[in-house]
Structure 1
Amino acid sequence: MRIIMYIGKYEDYALAKLIVNRLSSDGVEVYAVRDSEVKNIGIPKWDGSRSVDAAMVLGGDGTVLRFIHEIGDSVDIPILHIGTGRVNYLSDASAREVSQVLDNIVKGNYRIEERLTLKAVSADFECTALNEVLVKGVDPGHLVTVTVVEDGGEELMRARMDGVIIATPTGSTAYALAAGGPVVDNRLSVKLIVPLAPFSRALVPIVHPFEIPVKVMTSEVTHVLCDGIVAQRGAEVRILPGDKKIRFIRTRQYRMYDKLLRRLFTP
């Protein structure tokens, strides 16, 4: 079995070394994604030429998003997220549960959970998002006119606002939730269209069929961000279902609502 490791913060390297020692004793080959893991853990770097069975990510939810965007075309590698952040909404387990998780991984006692993604496509770029695509005005003190239409031409939204969020079920508990959108069960195949600080309070979030693409047009050039990481500029972007799903390793039942309640009450 081969595993690659991606570490979110310096404080997690001590835990990573313990994990590497444990996995190595069970005959598991462990490789580093970046030079920083090579330097701080002392494991060889993965060059992409050898297939791997899993990617172990230590950190918070933001670390998982950075890993997905950094690894690029290899996002189909199943991700085992060990949560060391504040909320760890995407995680399979916390740091204190690592020993049990490793037992299950080595024995093959786990399943794969798939999460939907969205793809943003403009004239000169495209990016994929696990959480959301954000279209936002360049000037934070200036409203832009945002128009959202679906394939077929029906207009869904037109108003002055700071921007608009197009979120997956996974992303419904992230920026979209903070902007007033509803929580969507991650077992549903829908997306959210959430206006960001609209001038009219009558404008409400929309739950929209996931498979129907939409186009976002703005009155001026705006920032287009996927998961808050990949940023481009454009005045028109088409958002459609992603080509790939992000796969997570689950060694236990994933309790979405338990995680949600803890997230809502985490300062």
Structure 2
Amino acid sequence: MLVYPRIGVTVKSGLEEKSHAIAEILAILRSINAQIFFDAERKNDIPETANLPSYTSAGDIDLLLVIGGDGTIGFLAEIELHEAAKILPSLLSGSGVIEERSILSIEALRGQEKVFTGYALNEAVIAQGTIARLVDLHTKVKGENLTTFHADGLIISTPTGSTAYSLAAGGPIVHPKLAATILTPINPHSFSQKPVVIPSEYEVEITVASKTNKFQDVQVILTIDGQVYVPLQSGDTVTACGCGKTVRFLRRKQDTFFGTLREKLKWGE
């Protein structure tokens, strides 16, 4: 008997051509009588899914299955395709464990107007969007001035995001069970400006400094998890704070973080 009978399915962007993988996963789900709901925004690009019903909200499904992993390295990917026929039915029948990952609450303010509100599982990034030029970001933590980052940008990440863009920018790897937020400057002009790890409940406030030269109208971009893009103006403020909310992941077994680091980062090879 399935513990998760209603399965939402989506495909990582750029993998629509992996029709054999999609067909194999769908066949496995049908073999165990799972109800399949496909991502409405993607199904028209994938012939194998054209006749499937779509999910429109989290309430429509019990679990979301992502084909193609979660990023360049795939730290959150749980099953390889060659083992899906064996592992997937077992997981959906209740053999797995639930792992919760914290997320950030993000707001962008223009004066009193909210120009964006949402959540980030990995990170929020503030950076110049149209020209290779440093940006000044006035940064406060819990109301106290931290510094003005003179850099290509600033990454505000969760522990989950610490192995993503933040890691590439020189940030630390933080265990996902820690309640922390990581501030990682991107190519800072000052060598002394290093990544900072703070308690997740501390609110971070970043204000885009005004420019007084010919580049004053150059756009700054807020990017959420590499998916949502918000144009910012001088004087706009972005706030980020751990909100106590989590995303739940179905895992084969508990606490495989260090094994995943060894495997994905090829430590010891």
Same fold, judged at TM 0.5 (above): yes
Separation in 1, partners of 2:69, 2:245: 22
- Which amino acid in structure 1 is aligned with residue 160 of structure 2? T
The residue that corresponds to 2:28 in the other structure is 22
- Which amino acid in structure 2 is aligned with residue 94 of structure 1? E
When Rg is computed on C-alpha atoms for both structures, the one with the higher figure is 2
How far did 1:242 drift? Answer: 4.0
Matched, 1:87 2:64: no
User: SS of the residue aligned with 1:212?
Assistant: coil
Separation in 1, partners of 2:177, 2:91: 24
Match of 1:225 among 223, 242, 256: 223
The residue that corresponds to 2:54 in the other structure is 46
Matched, 1:147 2:138: yes
- Which amino acid in structure 1 is aligned with residue 16 of structure 2? Y
Deviations along 1:12-61, whole A, 9 cap, x unmatched?
A: 33222222223223221112113237632354222437632111110031
Please show how residues 251-262 of structure 1 align to structure 2 within 5 Å: 251-262=252-263
Runs of 5+ unmatched residues, structure 2 = 110-114, 211-218
Question: Is the CA contact 1:6–1:37 (under 8 Å) kept in the aligned structure 2?
Answer: no
Separation in 2, partners of 1:28, 1:47: 14
The residue that corresponds to 2:96 in the other structure is 110
Runs of 5+ unmatched residues, structure 1 = 63-85
Question: Is the CA contact 1:30–1:43 (under 8 Å) kept in the aligned structure 2?
Answer: no
Question: Is the CA contact 1:31–1:43 (under 8 Å) kept in the aligned structure 2?
Answer: no
Separation in 1, partners of 2:73, 2:45: 24
Separation in 2, partners of 1:250, 1:139: 40
Separation in 2, partners of 1:256, 1:47: 31
Separation in 2, partners of 1:59, 1:38: 14
User: SS of the residue aligned with 2:54?
Assistant: coil
Separation in 2, partners of 1:39, 1:254: 38
Separation in 1, partners of 2:186, 2:19: 38
Match of 1:31 among 25, 32, 37: 37
How far did 1:210 drift? Answer: 0.3
Match of 2:86 among 100, 104, 114: 100
- So what's the TM-score if we normalise by structure 1? 0.82
- So what's the TM-score if we normalise by structure 2? 0.82
